[in-house]
Amino acid sequence: MRRVIRSTGFKWRKARVVLTSRDPDYSQKVRRIKQILAGLKNDEAFFSIDEFGPFAVKKKGGRKRVGPNENYVVPQWQESKGWLILTAALELSSNQVTHFYSRKKNTEEMIRMADLLWSRYADRRRLYLSWDAASWHVSKKLKAHLEKLNRSAADRYPVVEIAPLPAGAQFLNVIESVFSGLARAIIHNSDYPSVEAAISAIDQYFRTRNSHFAVQPSRAGHGIWQLERAPCEFSDASNCKDSSYR
């Protein structure tokens, strides 16, 4: 019977979970982002923005090569040396990451990021900020601050526009692929003695990554350690968010 069933083409298969969004405007939002990226000019910049963490600074497990008779264990209960929240923006046309560390995820930190990008990319004509539908990303206070920036822009600073991701579609956020590479290269298998040591390692990671793409410009590409799960490009056909990187 097994041979007969197999000959007919039947097989055992586990169901694959397909990522979806309940946003009724999903198609329109994705289409708008694709149109912006397809027509992005040299004097414009598109940023994928999100937060990584909070995560505790302690001995972390992961996958690594070990020698014969070598035991690799991580204590279940550990005393944390502190914790971090990393707030970062990935500019898609140049693959450059701008980052800082936050104590909270709130509107003030998004305003801080918007001001930083507004001043750092002052030579551009227009900036597009793209993030998910978290409450602090869509607050009235943040929108009012961006409107204030645009009123004072004149000819010295760029105009800022929001290109929001669909609600419940964090997996489309391109910077998640960078976070996955960061976690696999810097966080996994780590045992930093302090928060400052962890910050130093993360800063070095981004300096090296930015230098790599400054020398070899690429609108889409894998990280310098080939640890980023997905190419750094916007595509609703791929999952930028890797569920196993944390």
Give the residue extent of every domain in the chain: 44-62+79-246
Lowest mean pLDDT among 17-31, 132-146, 230-244: 230-244
What would the pLDDT profile of 208-232 be if each residue is shown by its tens digit? 999 988 888 776 555 444 556 555 5
Dihedral sign for Cα atoms in the order 123, 86, 237, 132:
negative
| Rounded distance between C-alpha atoms, residue 103 and residue 230, angstroms | 28
Q: What is the DSSP letter of 50?
A: E
| Rounded distance between C-alpha atoms, residue 36 and residue 55, angstroms | 33
One-letter identity of residue 4? V
Q: What confidence score (pLDDT) does residue 225 get?
A: 44
Q: What is the DSSP letter of 65?
A: -
| Rounded distance between C-alpha atoms, residue 103 and residue 92, angstroms | 26
What would the pLDDT profile of 44-97 be if each residue is shown by its tens digit? 999 999 999 899 999 998 888 888 888 888 888 889 999 999 999 999 988 899
Question: Other CB atoms closer than 10 Å to residue 127's CB: what's the count?
Answer: 25
CATH architecture, domain 44-62+79-246: 2-Layer Sandwich (3.30)
Of residues 203 and 26, more confidence is placed in: 203
Q: The whole model's pTM is what?
A: 0.81
